[in-house]
Structure 1
Amino acid sequence: MQPRGTGVDLLLPVLPFAAMAAVAAVEVSAGPEVGYLALFSIGPAFACVSGTVRRALLVGALAFVLCTAAACYDGMLGSRRATVALASVVGVTAAAALAAALRRRAERELADVRSVAEAAQRVLLRPVPTLAGPVRLAVSYASAAAEARIGGDLYEVVPTLADTTRVVVGDVQGKGLDAVETAAVVLGAFREAAPDESDLEAVGARIERALNRRLEGEEFVSAILAEITSDGTVTLLNYGHPPPLVLRADGEAQWAEPARCAPPLGLAALGPAGPEAHDLSLASGDQLLLYTDGVTETRDDAGAFYPLLERAGLLSLDDPDAALEAVRRDLAAYAAGPLKDDAAMMLLRRRSDGLA
């Protein structure tokens, strides 16, 4: 769906004509003594802001005709003042056409960049299955770089041969193309290791080794690894990431705090021992929300962080996708503007049909 134009967007196409009409009215009423003829060049000057080169030239031609007609009305055609005014219109029209051509080229380049970013995002962040074993899944991703539409947050869902499902949600330190490249390393290692390794610790170790070959200095990736079995048991490994939110079917919400704090991926050599796996059980209707710190570190006008635990009731909607959309909208309203950081969320809801 294309976004609706703002009031300014709707005004721009008529602005050149409104400006020239105003100049013509003032010129006719003021008479030749004041001399507003040169102001007809405002029309083509505004025309370069929107539209094509052809439109800028047509507006310039109209301005030239109006300027000539006003000079004839005032009896000034052929005078020095009229000649300077007509030359101003011609000069501004040429500059407007050049500016319109440059703007159109920049718009095409931006469209190409967006297409590449969208293609990269489809490869990097592939659509997740709506069903995985005993849970229903939904994801939401909002990039702080609105023009790029892609950032350093990551997620993935991989089924295994042992009738389990493994997921990852992570946040790369930094932004831009370097963060995207690091996210690609993490996702590639996870997709390769998750189906083969016997436990989550081995999966985390594979990702750590892949990052050590890629990262330099103190770059890191905070992440949550999770494994969901057919009976609804979820095993979590927390690598310096915000704790998941558990929402029970009766409305009780709590954090799934790790048993032991561990450094993010990429910093294992600098910190204490790795994370200790901890389990929780999802009964029918229970939910587990994995997210990145772009959610909980969003601030309102007063500087207060987004109260995710207090807003957990938004996840009670029947459709998981609609539930995440409700949180995303509430987050945007809380920030009262663009998000300052990427925000990714993955919702796992235990199915009530008893199937796996």
Structure 2
Amino acid sequence: MDSALVGIPVALILAIAIADLAAPDRIHLGPLLVAAPAITASFAGPRLTAAIVVVSAAAELLIASVQGDFGTQTFVGEIAALVTVGVLIVIFAYVRDRERRTLTQVRSVAETAQRALLRPVPARMARLRVASTYLAAEAEAHIGGDLYGAVRTRGLTRLIIGDVRGKGLAAVSDAALLLGAFREAAHHAPTLPHLAAYLQDSYGDRLADIPAPPPEETESFITATLVEFPDDRPLLTVVTCGHPPPLLLRGGEVTALPDDAQAPPFGLGDLAPAEYTARTFPFGEGDALLLYTDGVIEARDRAGRFYPLSERIAEWAGDEPELLLRRLSQDLLRHVGGRLDDDAAMVAVRAV
């Protein structure tokens, strides 16, 4: 709290008291004193607010003493109203501060969960430079259903990015389960389709172990993209499971990788048996790849226009991954006016 702000209600009390004493007897400005504690509650806690209530009441008593209004109905009504409203304002300040402390604790827990779940990807992985970022829908949340991860194994770098349907603890739990399965299976699965099948089975088993959702809730699922980069060949391999296609940045041009071989999201394999098909694309020195969740492309400005990701990212296609994501994040937040309606995760990769 800025101590200079305390001068505002104090100055207001002095101004009202002086004006009331200078005004004709038929004009009573005392009721305006309640504005001082109301203003104080906007920036201070219950103790300082209560102190300003006491100062306001003392000013009302001083005015009545000078004007000889003690005991009159006007004085009794004004002082009673001032004290009653003042007490209510102090109670409001107390409840607000208690909720603020609770929110701070929740935020700390959420940040700890995010650090444990979404560990930053290494800046250098074999022939790749990599960066990641996570933008929360609400500044107080800092964690939701978006996920990403990276693993080095047997001459390969494997990445995942995904988006859990829903929010809250259930979404965090699903994200943690899928990331844990990915970090384990990525070391053993011989191909990306095998890895995707394992993740579907792992997530499907988890869904089988929990009670059925209420009728008003739809099934849980996770959209995801898996990408593999061999160390010894200028290629990348992709398996997409209901997720937005990665963007390839090459020579100042931005191209969405074809997603005609999409498989269903994880968790929906029982409804439509999944056939995981890997697509391979050239990925040589200087090429870059952007993985992202739908919170990026579905972000809207005040006019309802979606964020033009492909158009905007072309301006920074030559940047290193960390700088690219920093500029992209800043531009995205400007587009939505500072607050996202959905979480957004991004991973940028450049071949060197």
With normalisation by structure 2, the TM-score equals 0.90
Structure 1 window deviating more from structure 2 (315-324 vs 192-201): it is 315-324
Residue by residue over 1:141-197, the C-alpha shift from the partner in whole angstroms, topping out at 9 and shown as x without a partner, is: 11113211111110001111x121111000111222221111111111111111122
Q: What corresponds to 1:45 in structure 2?
A: 38
- The change in CA–CA distance for 1:319 and 1:261 in structure 2 (over 3 A counts) is closer
Secondary structure of 1:267's partner? coil
**CA 1:37–1:253: 2 relative to 1, 3 Å:** closer
The aligned residue for residue 234 of structure 1 is 236
Where 2:277 maps in the other structure, the secondary structure is coil
Q: Match of 1:67?
A: 60
User: Aligned pair in 2 of structure 1 residues 275, 304: CA closer, same or farther (>3 Å)?
Assistant: farther
Counterpart of 1:163 in structure 2 is 155
Residue ranges of structure 1 left out of the alignment (5+ in a row): 352-356
Q: What code does the residue aligned with 1:315 have?
A: W
**Worse overlay, 134-143 or 300-309:** 300-309
User: Retained in 2: the 8 A contact 1:262–1:271?
Assistant: no
Corresponding residue for residue 92 of structure 2: 99
Change (3 A) 1:322 1:11: farther
RMSD: 2.2
**Preserved contact between residue 138 and residue 339 of structure 2 (Cα < 8 Å):** no
Does residue 211 (structure 1) correspond to residue 203 (structure 2)? The answer is yes
Provide Cα deviations, 1:185-241, integer angstroms capped at 9, x if missing partner: 111111111112212122212211121123356321110011111133211100011
CA distance 1:306–1:57, shift in 2 (3 Å): closer
Q: Structure 1: how far apart are the matches of 2:4 and 2:221?
A: 47
Q: Does 1:185 align with 2:177?
A: yes
1:152 pairs, out of 138, 145, 148, with 145
Q: Which residue in 1 is equivalent to 2:222? A: 221
Instruction: Tell me the equivalent position of 2:282.
Output: 281
- Within the candidate set 70, 78, 85, 2:78 is matched to 85
Partner residue of 2:310?
309
Change (3 A) 1:292 1:11: farther
Query: What amino acid does structure 2 have at the position aligned with 1:283?
Result: G
2:284 is paired with a residue of what secondary structure?
coil
Q: CA deviation at 1:95?
A: 2.8
Q: CA deviation at 1:18?
A: 4.7
**What count of residue pairs does the alignment treat as equivalent?**
342
Higher mean displacement: 16-25 or 204-213: 16-25
In structure 1, distance between residues paired with 2:6 and 2:275: 60
SS at match of 2:266: coil
In the TM superposition, what is the alpha-carbon distance from 1:272 to its structure 2 partner? 5.1
1:166 touches 1:228 (CA, 8 Å); kept in 2?
Answer: yes
Moved more, 106-115 or 73-82: 73-82
Q: Which moved more, 1:251-260 or 1:301-310?
A: 301-310
Secondary structure of residue in 1 paired with 2:84: helix
Normalised by the length of structure 1, the TM-score is 0.89
Q: What is the CA–CA distance in structure 2 between the aligned matches of 1:300 and 1:38, rounded to whole Å?
A: 44
SS of residue paired to 1:269: coil
- Deviation track 1:265-318 (CA, whole Å, cap 9, x = no partner) reads 111121254231011222111101111111112223443322222122233354
The answer as to whether partners of 2:197 and 2:276 remain within 8 angstroms in 1 is no
- For residue 215 of structure 2, what is the aligned residue in structure 1? none
Q: Alignment partner of 1:310: what SS?
A: helix
Q: Secondary structure at the match of 2:308?
A: coil
Identity over the aligned pairs, expressed in percent? 40
Looking at structure 1, the residues matched to 273 and 332 of structure 2 have their Cα atoms a distance apart, in angstroms, of: 34
* 1:23 and 2:23 correspond: no
